[in-house]
Amino acid sequence: MLPEAIEAMTEQLKRVGNASSLHAAGRRARRVVEESRETIADALGARPSEVVFTSGGTEADNLAVKGLYWARAPRKRILISSIEHHAALDPASWLADSQGAEVEPLAVDEYGQVRPETLRAAIERDPDDVAMISVMWANNEVGTVQPVHVLAAIAHDHGIPFHTDAVQAVGQLPVSFSESGVDALTMTGHKVGGPMGVGALLLARGLTPVSVQHGGGQERDVRSGTLDAPAVAGLAAAVSTAVKEQEALRRRLTALRDELIERVRAAVPDVVLNGHPAERLPGNAHFSFPGCEGDALLMLLDAKGVECSTGSACSAGVSQPSHVLLAMGADAAAARGSLRFTLGHTSTRADVDRLIEVLPAAVERARRAGLS
C-alpha cells in the first residue's frame, strides 16, 4: 500500500460512525465518504455522482455486466472480449446459462487486441438486440492495452452502453472517464496501492443498471451495503497519489520493464514475449517458456525469492491453460508454460538482477522435470 493510503485509513480507523446514520459520528463518516468520492472523481475525470463504491473489481464487474444486461431487456446479446478477466466473463456466462443471454466473444488478434472492425461487424449482425459491450482497458495477464476510445465510439454510434474493466489501467495509464467515452468503468483499490476489499464502478449519468444486491440502496440505489469509510478514504488517497505520480512511474517502469524483457531474452534465447510489443502496461512482461510447465517454473523461482504469476491471481491453483493466450492463438503447451512478471512502485533494478540470476537454472530444471 502507498503510505498516503495507510495514513488516510489509519486516521479513519480511530473514529466511529456509520456513514448512513444521522448522528454526529455518522455525519462525519459521511463527509469522509463524500470527500473521497470527489477526490476519485477529480482524479479520474468523472463527476462525483458517477462514482459508485463497491467491495472491489469483481463486484463492480458483476454490477456492470448483469445490471446493464437486465436494464436493457429484452435485448439478449452480450458482446465481450475473449480475454476478459473472469470477473466479467463469468457473470456473462451465468447470464447465458440462467437468463437466456446470448454471449458472443469478440476475437482478438495475435497481440490480444480487439480490432475496431471486429466489434463493428459483431454489432451490425443485429444491433437492435445488443444489450451491452464489455472490453477491458488493459489485460491483466499479457498487459495489452485496448483502443478503448475507438471501441466506445463504435458502441455509441449504435446506442449501446460500453463497459470497461480498468482495474489494471488506473494508476498505470492516463484514464479519464469523461474523455474515454465509456459508460461504465471498473477499478479497485489494491491495484493502485490502496486497500483490498474496496473499489468503484464509475457510471455515466442517466445510466442505471439493475441492482445485483438489494438492501439500503446506499449508492444511487444501485448498490446496497454499509460503506467502509476507512477503506474508502484509503482508496481515494491511493487513487489521487497514483494518478499524480502516474507519468513518472510510467517512465521508470517502462525502462525497467524493457530492461527485464531484454535480459530475459538473453538469458533464455527461445523465450516468447506475449502481448503487444508497444501497447502494453508499463510494468508488465509476460513470457512463454517452451518445454516448461508454468506452475513448476513459478515454484522454482518462488523458492529463490522471485514472486511471479502464471496468470490471474483469482485462478491460481487451477491447472488449465490461460484462456487469454489460447484466444491469442497460442497452443495449449505454450499457454501452460507462461509466466507474468509484474513491476510496481516498489520494484527496483535489484529485483530484475535477482530474476536474471536465478532464471536460467530454474528453466533448465523445469524442462528436465517436464521430460521425466
Query: What residues act catalytically?
Result: 314
Which 8-state DSSP code applies to residue 313? G
Alpha-carbon distance of 191 to 194, in angstroms, equals 7
CA distance readout (Å), 139 to 207, 210, 230, 299: 25, 27, 29, 24
| Location of C-alpha cell 445490471 | 67
Distance in angstroms (rounded) separating the CA atoms of residues 320 and 336: 7
Q: And the C-alpha cell for 147?
A: 483502443
User: Which DSSP string do the residues of 317-365 spell out, in sequence order?
Assistant: T--S--HHHHHTT--HHHHHTEEEEE--TT--HHHHHHHHHHHHHHHHH
Query: What number of residues does the chain have?
Result: 372
**Three-state DSSP class for residue 211:** coil
Going 20 to 23 to 25 to 31, the CA torsion angle's sign is positive
Edge-to-edge, what's the strand order for the sheet holding 284-288?
A: 272-274, 284-288, 338-342
Contacts 24+ apart (CB under 8 A), 297-300: 297/337, 297/339, 297/362, 297/363, 297/366, 298/339, 300/362, 300/365, 300/366
Task: State the Cα–Cα distance between residues 214 and 212, nearest whole angstrom.
Answer: 7
Geometric angle at alpha carbon 166, from 165 and 168, rounded to 5°: 115
Pairing label, strands 162-165, 51-54? unpaired
| Helices marked H in the chain | 3-13, 24-43, 57-71, 86-99, 116-124, 148-157, 177-180, 229-244, 246-267, 294-303, 323-327, 332-336, 349-371
